[in-house]
Each structure stands twice: as structure tokens, then as C-alpha cells.
Structure 1
Amino acid sequence: MNIRKSVLISIVTLNIIGISGCANMNQAQCETANWQAIGYEDGAAGARDSQFSQHRQECAKYGITANIEDYLHGHDKGSKKYCTQTNGFFLGMKGQNYNRNCPQDLAPVFLRGLTDGKQIYSAQRVIDSADETLERLYIRIENFEEVILDKNNLMIADGLVRAERLEIRQQIDSLEISMLELIELIPEYQDAHSRAIRNYESVKQSFANYF
């Protein structure tokens, strides 16, 4: 059986039985394990070759010895699929960090892509922050509007003397001044949000070769 067919069969098997870094291998899985395919799957998923230690311990419980040579051979092939500049770029876009899971000869290329992707991730974070800041501003303005509405309803309620109505009127005036100060900030916050979007588009365009 050639390696491509072997790996394909193993991938299907792994999906069915749910072998992963967090799952335990049972006795049947250890007995029928294709260690080269398992190593490939771990490497292609970005797991370090130290993942073999967990597999070894799991199978040792059943008196089964894991084949480290086959595993490392498969892991090396899987790592070549994972540790590319393009994959590093898209992982960087998601904000993921490097966990030293690439072989020494592949790490520089992968890290170059990861660094490029993180520039887009950082630009997106600035947009998110500006968006959240603007949203909080709108919420604060809405809260003032609600309080002012309640105060207006209270001011015309029955049973209040003139002095009480005047006091409420003064409270409303103060609230309105504070709300207007916030409203005046809207253009500034909107500009910051727009700048963040333009910067994001500029950064993304500079890495158009990845898309």
C-alpha cells in the first residue's frame, strides 16, 4: 500500500474513531495503529512530535509499543504540509501563536507567513476596538435619553410642588448638557472607525499575494 493511500485510509479512520491530541487510544486502535499515518495527521494538524509521548503512554497500557520511527517519518511529512508560509499567514490572521511545532528548516518560512498574517489580525483588532468604542458611546447616549425621558415624565406628574419641578428641570438640563457632549464625540469616533477600516484594507492589500 503506497503512502498516499495509507494516509487517506488513516485520516478517514481517525475521523471516525476520533483520535486526537485530547482523545485516548483504546486497545483496538493501538493494535491496528498506522503510526506513520498518525504521525502525518499530527504533523499536518500542527501538533509537535512530542505528541508521540502521549500515544506511546496510551498504548503502553495494553502492552503495545508505539513505533517512533514510523511516527516521526509521518510527522515530518505532515509538518511540511502545516509549516508553509501560506498556512502560517492564515493562522496569523486568526491571531494564533507559534508553539515551536515546525522543524528548524521550515520554521523561518512559516514564521514569515505568521508574522504577515498577524499584521492583518492586528489591523482587524483596531477596527473591532473602534467599533466597540463607538457602540459604547451610542449606548451611553441612549441611556441619557432614557433617563431624560423618565425625568420629563416625573416633572409633569401630579403631586409635585413648584420647587420640586424646578429641581427636576435643573437635573434634566444637566443631563442634556452631558448627553450633547457625548453626541459631539460621534464624528470623532466615526472618523477613528473609518481610519481603522482604511488601514485594514491597506494592510490586507499589501498581502494580496496570499489570497
Structure 2
Amino acid sequence: MQLRYGILLASLSLLITGCATMSKDECQMADWQAVGFEDGAAGKDLGYMGRRREACAKHGVQLNTGAYRSGRDEGLGLFCTELRGFAEGRSGENYNGVCPADLEGLFLRGYEAGQDIFVAHNAVKELEATIHDLELEREHILDDITEMSALIVLDETSRDERVILLADIARLKIRHTELGIEINDLLFALGQRQAEYQDVLASSSYH
């Protein structure tokens, strides 16, 4: 089939990926039906065609709108599936409403199921990152307390400086305790989020 040959040609010769910028050679060699197919299979909206048109117009090359649209429609048939929708949702990708009405229902069913997993997993990751940052802060506080304690016992440290250091150490110890309480609360919340994430995974019909 000519379209399949065109797709291979576009993939090997033009190396068109996710970017609408096209060189003069790419514009001149383009099989627009194949280019449209690739964009459709990648879920690109029609605005992408406009950007390709502008890119090639700069090189004096006109995009074949009919061929591009025909290829894009066929490519959307590969993109607008339930499993692809699930993969897009689980990856946290945005859906731009590119699927035709007869395919969009199935795509969205998969997309929403994937998005549920993405949201649950992201909640776990955000809590883990927050806990990690707070634990680092606690470690830095302990390092600061150790350094200040060492300064206090130095002969050259004045009485006034010792008073200030002791006050700073007391303040840091309070902060260290507060962080410990906050981390414990977050660890409890993390356990809940992890359980919710596992529930979403277990209830998914896409595994």
C-alpha cells in the first residue's frame, strides 16, 4: 500500500518526530499523507498541521492539506483506542480532544482509568518527596547543632557568643522536634495514599 510505503519513507528519510519544524529538504520530500498519519497516530491536533504549513511556507513549499488530513484521520484510528487512552492517562498526558466522536468514548474510558492511577501514584510521590526534604532538613539541623556545640567549648569563644550559640541550639532543637512530628504525620498519610494507590491498581481492568 502506498500509504504504508510513505510512512516508512517518512520515518527513515525525513526523521519527523514530535517537532513541527521542518527543513527545506524535509518539506520538499514530504509524503503529506504519511506525515499526517504519523501526527494522527501521535495524537497531534489539527493545529500541528498549521505549524507544519508555516514551517514549509518559509521554504516555498506548500503542504497538501487533503493528503495530510486523510493520513491524519487514518493515524487517529491507531491513537484513539481504549488501551492507548489508558497509556496516555497513566502517563499524565493531556488529552486535546482529537478523537472523532465514534472513537472518543472508548478512548476516554481508558484515559480516565489511566488518569486515576496517575493521580493516585502522583499523590504517593509528592508525599515521599516532601518527607525526604524534611528528613534532609533534620539532618542539616543536627549537623548545625554539632558545629555550634564544638564552638561553645573553644577557649576563644566569648561568653556572649556562647549565650547566642546556646540560644540558637535551643531553637534548632525545637525545630528538629517539630519536624519529627510533621514527618510522622506525613508517614501516616503516606501509608494511606499507598493503600489507595494499590486499591486503584487492583481495581483496574487494564492489567
Give the alignment's TM-score, normalised by structure 2. 0.83
Distance 1:152 1:170 in 2: 11
Name which of 131, 145, 169 aligns with 1:134.
131
Q: Show the counterpart of 1:210.
A: 206
Aligned-residue sequence identity (percent) comes to 32
Q: Indicate the SS of the match to 1:210.
A: coil
Count of residue correspondences:
207
Stretches of structure 1 that go unaligned for 5 or more consecutive residues are none
Q: Is the counterpart of residue 95 in structure 1 residue 92 in structure 2?
A: yes
Give the drift of 1:80: 0.7
Superposed CA offset, 1:97-151 (max 9, x none):
1112222322222222222211111112211221122112212212221221122
Name which of 97, 106, 111 aligns with 1:109.
106
Superposed CA offset, 1:50-69 (max 9, x none):
43334444445566543322
Distance 1:65 1:182 in 2: 63
For 1:45-84, list aligned pairs within 5 A: 45-60=42-57, 64-84=61-81
Cα separation, partners in 2 of 1:159 and 1:5, compared to 1, 3 Å: closer
Q: Show the counterpart of 1:3.
A: 3
Q: Is the counterpart of residue 158 in structure 1 residue 155 in structure 2?
A: yes
Name which of 162, 175, 179 aligns with 1:178.
175
CA contact (8 A) 1:48 1:102 kept: no
Q: Supply the AA of the counterpart residue of 1:3.
A: L
Give the drift of 1:190: 1.8
CA contact (8 A) 1:42 1:78 kept: yes
Distance 2:199 2:37 in 1: 37
Distance 2:26 2:183 in 1: 61
CA contact (8 A) 1:25 1:55 kept: no
Stretches of structure 2 that go unaligned for 5 or more consecutive residues are none
Distance 2:53 2:149 in 1: 73
Q: Show the counterpart of 1:194.
A: 191
Q: Indicate the SS of the match to 1:7.
A: helix
Distance 1:85 1:75 in 2: 18
Q: Supply the AA of the counterpart residue of 1:8.
A: L
Give the drift of 1:44: 0.8
Cα separation, partners in 2 of 1:25 and 1:101, compared to 1, 3 Å: farther
Q: Supply the AA of the counterpart residue of 1:23.
A: T
Q: Supply the AA of the counterpart residue of 2:82.
A: Q
Of stretches 140-149 and 165-174 in structure 1, the one that deviates more from structure 2 is 165-174
Give the alignment's TM-score, normalised by structure 1. 0.81
Cα separation, partners in 2 of 1:52 and 1:168, compared to 1, 3 Å: closer
CA contact (8 A) 1:91 1:117 kept: yes
Q: Indicate the SS of the match to 2:136.
A: helix
